[in-house]
Structure 1
Amino acid sequence: MTIYDFSADSIAGTPVNLGTYRGKVVLIVNTASKCGFTPQYKGLEAVYQQFKDKGVEVLGFPCNQFGKQEPGSADEIGAFCEKNYGVTFPLFEKIDVNGGNAHPLFKHLKREAPGLLGTEVIKWNFTKFLVKKNGTVYKRYAPRTEPKELMSDIEKLLAE
């Protein structure tokens, strides 16, 4: 099973088959607009701008499960990200990443790349998953990991 076996609704409500990203390196992030890590949107956009023409996609999945730090509607989230951080990478509808209602994509990501001590739970906003061109999960990164710290791993996966 790979990320290509899943779909998710875009922030505009349109279904997106993740098979669309086949052959690309994909960075998947659970995001929030009112979090201490929210400024990472700027770094995620910088990664996207630097690598999008080389075959990298950044996918943002807003989530309100951590301190209710993503309370807005899809329209509000999209406008916030564009206005404050110039986000042009794809955003998706707000989802759950933990618990019984967790999006199937995130259940898969957590199974494939558990966190510290093998735990599958996502502990906070801006947990990142880097996916190889073949759709398999390469690595999970903690919320504190700045997007720029992923550059060497992205370049390595692009060269594969």
Structure 2
Amino acid sequence: MTSVFDFKATAIGGTEQSLGQYRGKALLIVNTASKCGFTGQYAGLEALHRDYADKPFEVLGFPCNQFGAQEPGKAAEIASFCSTTYGVDFPMFDKVEVNGPNRHPLYAWLTSEKKGFLGSRDIKWNFTKFLTDREGRVIARYAPQVEPSAIAADIEKLI
């Protein structure tokens, strides 16, 4: 059985990391963008990260430029923006594609595990969120307009 912990991704600093390092933690995986109407959700994501810092939970951000070219920057620019504008301290990864033939393997798996509106696999926009349990199974998928704070009760059930 595949789990979220079976995947690797490039951290925003450029090093490849195994998501296995988060084994035993519930994860909230989010495709992000710096120039989006939902960009303010970085604050809510960081609040979840801080609120549950001492719990088996982590937020993981995956910048994506596939929606309206709203994440045009390079990794260093994205990291700087997130840190200085929203105080982001949760793990961020390098830009990925979440749809199409170059879809990152993690997102191919996430979208096959939890379909979106009307059963679609495709991610519709920035800030789509996936919640996995501590065993690495996808529990829920949330639309971009769902605020991070609205997910807190679901997170608490898993930690």
Fold shared, TM-score > 0.5 on shorter chain: yes
Q: CA deviation at 1:117?
A: 1.1
The residue type paired with residue 96 of structure 1 is E
Q: CA deviation at 1:40?
A: 0.1
Q: How do 1:10-159 residues align onto structure 2 when only pairs under 5 Å count?
A: 10-158=11-159
Distance 1:93 1:52 in 2: 23
Secondary structure of the 2:53 match is helix
| Structure 1: stretches of 5+ with no match in the other structure | none
Distance 1:29 1:67 in 2: 17
Distance 1:34 1:127 in 2: 15
Secondary structure of the 2:102 match is coil
Percent identity over the alignment?
59
List per-residue Cα deviations over 1:140-159 (Å, max 9, x = no partner): 0000000000000000011x
Q: CA deviation at 1:116?
A: 1.1
List per-residue Cα deviations over 1:13-50 (Å, max 9, x = no partner): 11110010000010000000000000000000000000
Aligned residues: 158
Distance 2:146 2:80 in 1: 25
Q: CA deviation at 1:53?
A: 1.0
List per-residue Cα deviations over 1:120-155 (Å, max 9, x = no partner): 000000000000000000000000000000000000
Q: CA deviation at 1:52?
A: 2.0
- Structure 1 length-normalised TM: 0.98
The residue type paired with residue 34 of structure 2 is S
Secondary structure of the 1:52 match is coil
Secondary structure of the 1:37 match is coil
- Structure 2 length-normalised TM: 0.99
The residue type paired with residue 44 of structure 1 is L
Runs of 4+ in 1 over 4 A off after TM superposition: none
Distance 2:72 2:64 in 1: 9
List per-residue Cα deviations over 1:65-119 (Å, max 9, x = no partner): 0000000000000000000000000000001000000000000000001001110
Secondary structure of the 2:76 match is helix
The residue type paired with residue 74 of structure 1 is A
Secondary structure of the 1:76 match is helix
